[in-house]
């Protein structure tokens, strides 16, 4: 019994020792740090051409493409005013008519002067066959004939005097008459020459200039008379005449029967055949804008109308009123071409407009994540393969525009690029 008890005690001690060693080993394994898992491999991202656009959004106000001033064509009373400020008119519509009774008198006077000037010029054109020249020539011939008769009579009288038949005083009287007729002949010749000269040179030039002046004056008055009915030169909105003084503006629109002077502004006409939008752009974006860039124009008051325009003017000088030390602003003018009837009914002058200006467009752009780009000195490199089965190669690319999706690159073909995790 004693020997069995000893063997049993020894076996129990051995089991206890093994259990203790097993516990110590387990504890040591728990206290050792765990091995770090191997990071997964990098991703291969497919790169395909896509439409890339960059736009700048601005807010502006609708204005007419042009505004002209309608002035009184001549002085007088307004016979009938057919429009009011804010009224929409179409091209060719009658706006206002003038009382032309006073102008008609001036036109008739101008016509009378013109006809007289034409008659004078015609006389100068046939001057040598005219009445004045004919009268001077007749007078010269009459004096010449009288002189010829007296000279023959003087010759006969002198012969008779030498034979003592005619007294001395009778001969002397005949000589005096002949001398006076010679003087009359010289005067008639001078008169004929003077009359002939009036048909040439300065006299004729003066008559032609008077005719030209009469024609111009009559034509100008006739045009004024024809413009007594003022028609709309284009479709637009009747507005206050631009550039008038505050005193004139306070008088209100012209009324039927009002007295106006020639050239007095009556009202303005703002075109709706073409519009423009005036907006402001910050100095950080102004250099991205250029004349001719397409613009999408929308507005809260357009009732769903979507307009197309283009940048017409980019201001070259900062606008006044900028905050010192702050960002300067520049004016941008967007032109909107002729509108259709539906657009004209919805888009009104003075409405606010939202502009979306297309500053860059590439329909075949390749955009890769910025993490895929590697810098090697002055070069940008990408790990690239055309298909998942092809080997990997390093491709040098040129960086373009930075986008939220990544970076536009040039010099790369569609395929796959490696993007590290």
Per-residue pLDDT at 342: 79
Residue 43 belongs to what H/E stretch? strand 43-47
Task: Supply the angle between the helices 201-226 and 168-198 in degrees, to the nearest 10.
Answer: 40
264 located within any domain: no
Q: Are 386 and 416 in contact (CB under 8 A)?
A: yes
67 located within any domain: no
Per-residue pLDDT at 335: 93
The verdict on 391 and 347 lying in the same domain is no
Per-residue pLDDT at 269: 93
The verdict on 130 and 165 lying in the same domain is yes
20 located within any domain: no
Per-residue pLDDT at 9: 57
Per-residue pLDDT at 310: 93
Per-residue pLDDT at 30: 41
Residues of the chain with pLDDT under 70: 1-42, 246, 249, 321-326
The verdict on 198 and 217 lying in the same domain is yes
229 located within any domain: no
The verdict on 352 and 390 lying in the same domain is no
Q: Tell me which residue range forms the domain holding 124.
A: 108-222
The verdict on 179 and 132 lying in the same domain is yes
Q: Are 49 and 414 in contact (CB under 8 A)?
A: yes
The verdict on 163 and 119 lying in the same domain is yes
Helix, strand, or coil (residue 392): coil
Per-residue pLDDT at 96: 92
60 located within any domain: no
Per-residue pLDDT tens for 176-223?
Answer: 888 888 898 898 888 888 877 777 778 888 888 999 999 999 999 999
The residue among 68, 88, 93, 69 whose CA lies nearest residue 229 is 93
Q: Are 353 and 293 in contact (CB under 8 A)?
A: no
The verdict on 356 and 371 lying in the same domain is no
Per-residue pLDDT at 281: 92
The verdict on 157 and 202 lying in the same domain is yes
**Cα dihedral across residues 182, 185, 190, 191: positive or negative:** positive
The verdict on 209 and 300 lying in the same domain is no
The verdict on 342 and 384 lying in the same domain is no
The verdict on 387 and 348 lying in the same domain is no
The domain boundary, picked from 156, 189, 222, lies at 222
Rounded CA-CA distance 42/19 in Å is: 47
The verdict on 357 and 331 lying in the same domain is yes
235 located within any domain: no
User: How would DSSP label each residue in 339-379?
Assistant: --HHHHHH--TT-EEEEEEEEEEEEEEEEE-GGG-EEETTE
CA distances from 51 to 46, 362, 405, 413 (A): 16, 6, 12, 15
Q: Which residues make Cβ contacts (< 8 Å) with residue 296, sequence separation at least 6?
A: 306, 307, 308, 355, 356, 358
Per-residue pLDDT at 312: 93
Structural domains in the chain (count): 3
Q: Are 212 and 137 in contact (CB under 8 A)?
A: no
352 located within any domain: yes
356 located within any domain: yes
């Amino acid at each position: 019994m004693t020997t069995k008890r000893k063997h049993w005690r020894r076996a129990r001690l051995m089991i206890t020792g093994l259990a203790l060693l097993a516990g110590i080993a387990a504890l040591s394994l728990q206290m050792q740090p765990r091995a770090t898992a191997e990071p997964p491999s990098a991703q291969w991202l497919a790169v395909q051409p896509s439409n890339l656009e960059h736009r700048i959004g601005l807010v502006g106000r609708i204005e007419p493409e042009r505004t002209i001033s309608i002035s009184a064509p001549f002085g007088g009373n307004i016979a009938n005013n057919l429009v009011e400020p804010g009224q929409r008119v179409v091209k060719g519509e009658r706006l206002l008519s003038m009382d032309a009774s006073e102008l008609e008198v001036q036109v008739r006077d101008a016509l009378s002067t013109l006809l007289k000037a034409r008659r004078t010029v015609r006389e100068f054109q046939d001057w040598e066959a005219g009445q004045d020249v004919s009268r001077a020539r007749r007078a010269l011939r009459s004096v010449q004939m009288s002189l010829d008769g007296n000279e023959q009579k003087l010759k006969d009288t002198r012969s008779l005097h030498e034979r003592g038949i005619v007294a001395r005083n009778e001969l002397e009287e005949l000589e005096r008459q002949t001398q006076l007729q010679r003087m009359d002949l010289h005067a008639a010749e001078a008169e004929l020459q003077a009359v002939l000269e009036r048909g040439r040179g300065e006299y004729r030039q003066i008559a032609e200039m008077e005719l030209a002046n009469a024609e111009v004056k009559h034509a100008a008055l006739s045009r004024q008379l024809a413009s007594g009915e003022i028609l709309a030169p284009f479709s637009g909105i009747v507005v206050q005449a631009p550039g008038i003084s505050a005193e004139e503006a306070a008088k209100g629109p012209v009324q039927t029967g009002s007295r106006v002077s020639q050239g007095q502004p009556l009202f303005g006409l703002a075109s709706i055949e073409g519009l423009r939008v005036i907006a402001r752009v910050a100095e950080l974006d102004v250099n991205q804008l250029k004349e001719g860039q397409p613009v999408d124009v929308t507005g809260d008051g357009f009732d769903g109308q979507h307009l197309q325009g283009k940048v017409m003017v980019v201001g070259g000088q900062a606008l006044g009123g900028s905050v010192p030390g702050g960002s300067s602003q520049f004016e941008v003018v967007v032109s909107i071409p002729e509108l259709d009837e539906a657009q004209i009914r919805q888009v009104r002058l003075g409405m606010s407009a939202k502009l979306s200006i297309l500053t860059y467009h590439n329909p075949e752009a390749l955009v890769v994540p910025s993490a895929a780009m590697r810098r090697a000195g002055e070069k940008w490199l990408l790990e690239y393969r055309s298909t998942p089965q092809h080997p990997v190669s390093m491709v040098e690319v040129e960086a373009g525009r930075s986008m939220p999706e990544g970076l536009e690159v040039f010099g790369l073909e569609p395929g796959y690029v490696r993007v590290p995790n």
